[in-house]
Structure 1
């Protein structure tokens, strides 16, 4: 297939390039506004108990929506008694009534005396107006932004600051778009400089960047297409940009390096293109399939945040692969000798008085000598490197998962500043309430249940449709709309932090209270966090199984061995455990200042599995590059133990430079993501940077050759039936 495609491209290369340019323009026009079609949530499992309870609240009661909070500040004044504050606050509440996307009840000291004590700061200089918004994660952030622009600011010396989950979502959307532009502004110029150093020439360096830009723009256009049919997270734009550039550079770099190698070996330029595409082109195709299958495991999760990254990953793999297989040979054909134009190495060597560098046989390279050194010390190298990776991965054993809040934003954001002030200046913790939706019970049974719940430690009060319960007794009667058809709503108020251990303990204690003979569902921040973590753990084994099985099958088809796929799985897991250990140590435990983010004592629940699928796929990317060249040399040999060692040394020496260069370039791209002001995206960029560099050094340069030396001819072993199967359907590099 690759050979036929190459022949078709080389038959009309200029037409292909004009078509690619036209596609680039169309992709840019369609995908340019993709951010406005993407969402900033998606962390919850829509099938979880808390999500179902929230849906009942929205459908039956028109409540429970994403809130925006207006923090009203009047320094050195008592907001409960000051007439100016009262006038401004009451007018704000009155003005909010004109918006039909605002749900009831709007909580303030002027509308709900029962809630008043929770909405006043300790020094009484500020108060809160809590406004629930309709529209869910799709529309609520936009509503929050509209309200913020309309009502935020200062009136008569009273400052009104919008914050809360709705405003945080809106600010996050804006921040992600800014971060994306900054990451591109950092990654593209630095990658170009690195490519000039690697290739020596400016023209050759521009080829991978051209394919990379095509991949980025094409992937963003596909994300907008996906958004027509499914919820897609706005954070996928970061992955689309980073992986689009990184994979395109990787694939193009491998093809061009093989092309130059074949030209140096005496082939004509057109023959070299055919040879490079028939070898490296196949490897790139196989690598792309492996990366895509690894990322497709995210489709098994119900959270659209994770599923979105599967969409983005599959889109970027397809576009980067097509760009590499189509645009690269067309550019090589059209440029011909000019690919080596503007070669900066020649003037630099002349200035330094160094001779021109000619062709160096593989066996005389530094890489070959280094691998031979590792092969002679295979056992101690493998033991020491494994111990180092296990030590680095030890902090991963203490990982804690949680739910993101406003602290994902930088401390300078007004909404983040306001939430910090609320945490510090208010006696009551926001979000500490637990809402319980009861279906199919009687009023008496519900009140009895509410009374028992109110006796749980750290519970301040429980409200039912009929009464307020404190310490097991009805403290005050009430009439509310918490009764609707067969549904009854209980609200448990507490001053615990729902994201910390105190909130988790409270929720666990509430769940242990004997329930009425009815369907009982818990929701609220603590319940949603618990359900999200439980959902991830529940689906995780199936994702790991999918990734392991598909990777094993593909590597078997590529190598004909059952040993090498097992080796790849074990070494990749070892490498990733060390990466996750660093993530926990820095971003959860707060070492190194959490790299400028706020350490909350937990990791955003969806991020470890996302990093695993992406990093595992990229690790397999390099595994395929390396094994493809080793196997090519092995198949040409007499298949003795010495031949196996030579194939390992020869294959790694031939690919070591390109894998190291590709890893460096990919690390540059992912490191640019660390400029993100959204904390877990900075963590994502850091984790992938570490994973790529560790995989290209400790794994590929040390552990892989050491293992293959110890395994010898057993590297290529497979049971007889599987060998026959591979002979029929296996894939080949040549």
Structure 2
């Protein structure tokens, strides 16, 4: 049995499967021991633009002003009957101080101050617990103490921990709960789809077992990686979803090919070698494409965004490793028993699907109506994306009953809509008066608080500029820009709203660069694999259509509110700011996944026959059912997240689900096969000079 490196890898795993099982058992047990702590260990903050002015202000405030930074905990105290000056409220402040003093992550407590953190009617005040640790540790501190703080409520006094650290604590908790609930719904749906697709209980269970191994090891890997550098808890949320979807994709392709090969060979070992030499190459290329697409997100100078990409990359790497080593070993052990538990309707099911063969012939006979029809639908859905608006999430993404949202509402009602999102200004003492006067003149600033002197004698002062609009109002960006333009050059402007705006600006600035990098790297990978520049270019470009269409649908739902009530959505009037960068990378990676499966299969048949007609029809006949089943699984996985209560999981689930649905049905099963039909031999042509430069990769065996 001859073959390439992957065929030899398949042969080795089949021959040494006990070693493979032993190594994976050690990995699953070893890394799995750390996996249960993944959500409590990972970082809760990181939503910032490194190197920005707002981050500099936060660091200065933490260093020189007793931790009175954007990451400080603002404990809202309100009473309809008591004033903040009353002994009862003073006792609550003492209790807050006692809680803070018992945790080294908390700094000094600043009691409510008249004219600064006490409402005009005297019934609402804010006690500030300084930040004595980095933002991630501050979120963890709130996680541990928020129940104790809210437990101080009673006797007509309400206590709510708020501020950025409390916001991320409640936000992460709500989203984690939603993600776990969605996963619990998606697993049985996925198993049902797999049983229908394979018609065999054993074959259907293999992808799920493979995915579990990938998930457990990636979770443990992220916990270990977090000891080196903070990893956002969102990294695991995305990793769970992507590992399930892609793990099943890869296993579908491998198991389907093995089931066909094992009937044609005298031993399972030879069947594994052939499977790895053909389908294995497509899976490896697909995995590399996903990793390359997500690696472009690492360019964004935002820790949370970067580590979300890292989380998915770690999960994909483990799933890919399991697909190329553990799965072949299991298949070699099962042999023909892979079809055990075959259901009645699936007996005699062949690797080559007659249904998709007929579909391929139909597209071959009538290419233009199908091409124009699919393009019309995709372009119509993509057009609304032109007017899409983005911004960082508002307080509306947190559940109504979350303490941070309740405190936010109390402060906004008692002190004005901008009070929950004060802008912080750090300036040398000599420029304090000029700065305060200039800030007070800026349109949109309701008031400027008296200067707070530095606690370490550094000569800096801290001013709070209270806007007259909600922190998520679009006017906030103009107010911040005007402040920075009008204040003395020595003044730095930050605060939680400024951190959001600076992060949004960084995401906007990097978005076109990331798109260009992803498209370029995706094209180069397809070019190297297929050695066919035209179809590599077309395969890359058509992936943009499903992405644009998904964003068009996102605008209609999440920005304009069409169908929002049906989905239980309260539209913010914009898409969450991290969406375009991250969703583009994810959608493109998934789209290229299907592109690789289809084109690799078509290339294999073109290599055998030299007939583009044969390649187009059999490309669909052999990969169409797999693409359809894989897409059904992905759509089911993603749409279950639309059932979540918080907005971000809904946004993620609907956008990714729509993208996969459109990409699989209109592009991979219609438009791309039609392009193969229209371009004919030209699809697979390559100039001689390029052939000499590229490695010789064959998808045939």
> What is the TM-score when the length of structure 1 is the normalising length?
0.88
RMSD: 2.7
1:398-547 to structure 2, matched below 5 A, reads: 398-424=387-413, 426-438=415-427, 443=430, 445-463=431-449, 465=451, 480-481=453-454, 484-485=457-458, 487-513=460-486, 515-516=487-488, 518-547=489-518
Q: For residues 195-242 of structure 1, what are the alpha-carbon distances to aligned partners after superposition, in whole Å with 9 as ceiling and x for unaligned?
A: 111111211111111101001001111111221221211011112211
Q: In structure 1, list runs of 5 or more residues that go unmatched.
A: 350-355, 466-478
Q: Indicate conservation of the 8 Å contact 2:6/2:273, yes or no.
A: no
Q: Indicate conservation of the 8 Å contact 1:43/1:606, yes or no.
A: no
Q: What secondary structure does 1:497 align onto?
A: coil
Q: What secondary structure does 1:161 align onto?
A: strand
Distance 1:49 1:135 in 2: 19
Q: Indicate conservation of the 8 Å contact 1:295/1:617, yes or no.
A: yes
Distance 2:52 2:267 in 1: 62
How many residue pairs were aligned?
A: 693
> How many Å apart are 1:272 and its aligned residue?
2.1
Q: Which one of the candidate residues 76, 84, 98 is aligned to 2:101?
A: 98
Which residue number corresponds to residue 606 of structure 1? 578
Q: Which moved more, 1:691-700 or 1:446-455?
A: 446-455
Distance 2:593 2:627 in 1: 10
Change (3 A) 1:93 1:255: closer
Q: Which one of the candidate residues 534, 557, 580 is aligned to 1:563?
A: 534
Q: What secondary structure does 1:229 align onto?
A: coil
Rg (Cα) greater in structure: 1
> How many Å apart are 1:257 and its aligned residue?
0.6
1:613-652 to structure 2, matched below 5 A, reads: 613-638=585-610, 643-652=611-620
Q: Which 4+ runs in 1 deviate beyond 6 A?
A: none
Which residue number corresponds to residue 660 of structure 1? 628
Q: What secondary structure does 1:701 align onto?
A: helix
Q: What secondary structure does 2:174 align onto?
A: helix
Q: What secondary structure does 2:601 align onto?
A: helix
> How many Å apart are 1:424 and its aligned residue?
4.9
1:646-725 to structure 2, matched below 5 A, reads: 646-725=614-693
Change (3 A) 1:654 1:160: same
Q: Indicate conservation of the 8 Å contact 2:46/2:136, yes or no.
A: no
Q: For residues 362-403 of structure 1, what are the alpha-carbon distances to aligned partners after superposition, in whole Å with 9 as ceiling and x for unaligned?
A: 6xx221222222233322322232222122122222222222
Q: 1:113 and 2:119 equivalent?
A: no
Q: What secondary structure does 2:493 align onto?
A: strand
Q: For residues 286-338 of structure 1, what are the alpha-carbon distances to aligned partners after superposition, in whole Å with 9 as ceiling and x for unaligned?
A: 11111111111111111111111222122122211111111212212222232
Distance 1:210 1:654 in 2: 24
Q: 1:56 and 2:60 equivalent?
A: yes
Q: What secondary structure does 1:79 align onto?
A: coil
Change (3 A) 1:585 1:340: same
Q: What secondary structure does 1:70 align onto?
A: strand
Q: Which one of the candidate residues 70, 73, 81 is aligned to 2:75?
A: 70
> How many Å apart are 1:128 and its aligned residue?
4.0
Q: 1:233 and 2:204 equivalent?
A: no
Q: 1:370 and 2:359 equivalent?
A: yes
Distance 2:456 2:511 in 1: 38
Q: Which one of the candidate residues 552, 563, 568 is aligned to 1:596?
A: 568
Q: Indicate conservation of the 8 Å contact 1:432/1:496, yes or no.
A: no
Change (3 A) 1:498 1:635: same
Change (3 A) 1:719 1:177: same
> What is the TM-score when the length of structure 2 is the normalising length?
0.92
Q: Indicate conservation of the 8 Å contact 2:164/2:496, yes or no.
A: no
Q: Indicate conservation of the 8 Å contact 1:390/1:574, yes or no.
A: yes
Change (3 A) 1:427 1:30: closer
Q: Indicate conservation of the 8 Å contact 1:68/1:162, yes or no.
A: yes
Q: Indicate conservation of the 8 Å contact 2:64/2:456, yes or no.
A: no
Q: What secondary structure does 2:466 align onto?
A: strand
Which residue number corresponds to residue 137 of structure 1? 135
Change (3 A) 1:732 1:588: same
> How many Å apart are 1:51 and its aligned residue?
1.0
Q: Indicate conservation of the 8 Å contact 2:70/2:496, yes or no.
A: no
